[in-house]
Structure 1
């Protein structure tokens, strides 16, 4: 069976789809399967000229927005690159971004196209202050869910919470499959270690949606209580300068290390003790599963798919979003009680190995792909 995994940009960022799809190829390396990965190179800009018409809504109603214009140009570019580069026929295409899914179905209309939605781009833009909730860009991006439902053969998402989020914007939410991402355990190896001072870490883009301002406020409370810690922030983004200034203003800069972008954070993640990410929104929260596989204690917020990974008090701790006091209290619990911290981490690791293994995902995907066998193979 000839498969195409259609990504958006090349899989070079840590987390999410990039933590799964490239590693799936080994699971599909047999005479029975042939898998390729396709994406839009970042150098491709402004090449597409194709006229675009959607089936379920008129996107030109939102065409005055520069964000919508940029989104549509990227879609045209993806169409242009797909027509230029793909000449082979495929038995099935699995897309991991709305633009990729719609472009593939346009170029290969008779080929089954499955679409996994990994995150809520519009929600992140709202939380990051880029667009207004209910504004034209927001309405445009929400309308894309209906277009995806109409055009693709199967919608998939990574959590039940995200299926509920999509439900008001599609006709048949009950038909959406839930399939959490999977992770190759060989990349995440717990390392026995003893840190004299507990080491906290977060891995994410430095944007408002991740709630790192709340984390710094919580750390300031820990310092006031003389609770020892070191915070490691791994990632980069537009909020970095603001967060560094905030750390200085709160008096926690000397206890905080800003690493910037790191390609493989899982290589040194096992040497930390506690993974904390007080996100304001998460479709699934892949980094929690990755941290669990490294046997770190987990502290997160009760948003999106995070509570589907963390059972409070069993394999991690959950706090409300935007609550620095509650976050400080949770962190203090796992900092001052190493035995409790270890028990949470051990249980989290066991659950992650059971529920989020790459082998499990590969088996589920093979079963799903085979259900479409023989339904179409078409060249451009």
Structure 2
């Protein structure tokens, strides 16, 4: 079996953590597949660009893909539907026997497919042989928008050899956020909530990532205990997660947040926004808590309440996190993906 990954999400120096799950899946699958199988990848590295720069990036990607149009693959697996599904679709027009698998991640269907292009992409989607949404809510969305039927919900997968609980690590931070400092991740709400904390709160925050709200976070450091980390390795992120009492993510939209599951594997309960996608992950009071989307005042109150939780109660939450999503391990997910490949070949 000849397999090709196509993705617009791959780590870079600018965004070392973005798309890391695609890289992880690629490397794990290379270890799993049979000796006679091959696995290649065509990727675009994640980077901060303008709208013009982003358009040019895709144009150059389509040009770079031209040699792949004349190569035959048994399976083409597209990570992130829009717009790179067009590359797999073009290849299939030349090589009719090729099977297309798509992992849907959230914004590729929620934000990118609407009334203006839905009819066109429904036609393209007819050539998809198997769909892998990363969450239940997302599965419902792709069924509705693209009329896809052959579907299996699978998260992106957490590498258990990287993300695990370290019992001898001191809790340095109260809350940690891992991800891009952008509006979609709700970082503006977090900043507003921190600004409104009383001066004597002594709540410690750690932010790991990069993005256009970096300067706003840096301003917080004058009056609040805020640490900013950039370009962290996965081992460093595991240590920082274990050094934190709660994982924080106030996103306005997500597919199925891998970073949240990584926190669970480290025994770290979470505080997230109350969007449907997080409701699939967070069991209120068991492995974490939900806070109303975009409400900085209630988020501030949650910061104060959760930072003062007693040790016994926190231990219950930590155990609840550890016992969440055991079937989200990278090895399990990749073996399920490989079984899908074999079912199509």
Q: Report TM bin, short chain.
A: 0.7 to 0.9
Instruction: Provide TM-score, normalisation by structure 2.
Output: 0.83
- C-alpha displacement of 1:285: 1.2
Residues 332-380 of structure 1 deviation map (CA, whole Å, 9 limit, x = unaligned): 333212322222122212213x12111221221122111111xxxxxxx
Residue aligned with 1:185, SS? coil
In structure 1, what is the equivalent of residue 163 of structure 2?
188
In structure 1, what is the equivalent of residue 192 of structure 2?
217
Task: Indicate yes or no: 2:337 matched with 1:359.
Answer: no
Instruction: Provide TM-score, normalisation by structure 1.
Output: 0.76
User: For residues 141 and 195 of structure 1, do their structure 2 counterparts lie closer, same or farther at Cα, with a shift above 3 Å needed?
Assistant: farther
Deviates more, 1:87-96 or 1:200-209: 87-96
Task: Indicate yes or no: 2:212 matched with 1:238.
Answer: yes
Residues 41-88 of structure 1 deviation map (CA, whole Å, 9 limit, x = unaligned): 689xxxxxxxxxxxxxxxxxxxxxx95x87765554333212235764
Two-structure CA RMSD over aligned residues (Å): 3.2
In structure 1, what is the equivalent of residue 140 of structure 2?
164
CA distance in 2: counterparts of 1:196 and 1:367, whole angstroms: 40
- C-alpha displacement of 1:9: 4.7
CA distance in 2: counterparts of 1:20 and 1:39, whole angstroms: 13
User: For residues 102 and 196 of structure 1, do their structure 2 counterparts lie closer, same or farther at Cα, with a shift above 3 Å needed?
Assistant: closer
Residue aligned with 2:86, SS? helix
CA distance in 1: counterparts of 2:190 and 2:266, whole angstroms: 21
User: For residues 11 and 93 of structure 1, do their structure 2 counterparts lie closer, same or farther at Cα, with a shift above 3 Å needed?
Assistant: farther
In structure 1, what is the equivalent of residue 78 of structure 2?
95
- C-alpha displacement of 1:193: 4.3
In structure 2, what is the equivalent of residue 115 of structure 1?
102
In structure 1, the gaps of 5 or more residues are 44-65, 126-136, 374-380
User: For residues 301 and 122 of structure 1, do their structure 2 counterparts lie closer, same or farther at Cα, with a shift above 3 Å needed?
Assistant: same
Residue aligned with 2:180, SS? coil
Whether the 8 Å contact between 2:210 and 2:230 is mirrored in structure 1 is yes
Deviates more, 1:21-30 or 1:233-242: 21-30
- C-alpha displacement of 1:214: 1.8
In structure 2, the gaps of 5 or more residues are none
User: For residues 193 and 329 of structure 1, do their structure 2 counterparts lie closer, same or farther at Cα, with a shift above 3 Å needed?
Assistant: farther
In structure 2, what is the equivalent of residue 345 of structure 1?
318
CA distance in 2: counterparts of 1:4 and 1:303, whole angstroms: 33
The number of residue pairs the alignment matches comes to: 333
Q: 2:258 aligns with which of 286, 302, 311?
A: 286
CA distance in 2: counterparts of 1:266 and 1:196, whole angstroms: 14
Deviates more, 1:12-21 or 1:288-297: 12-21
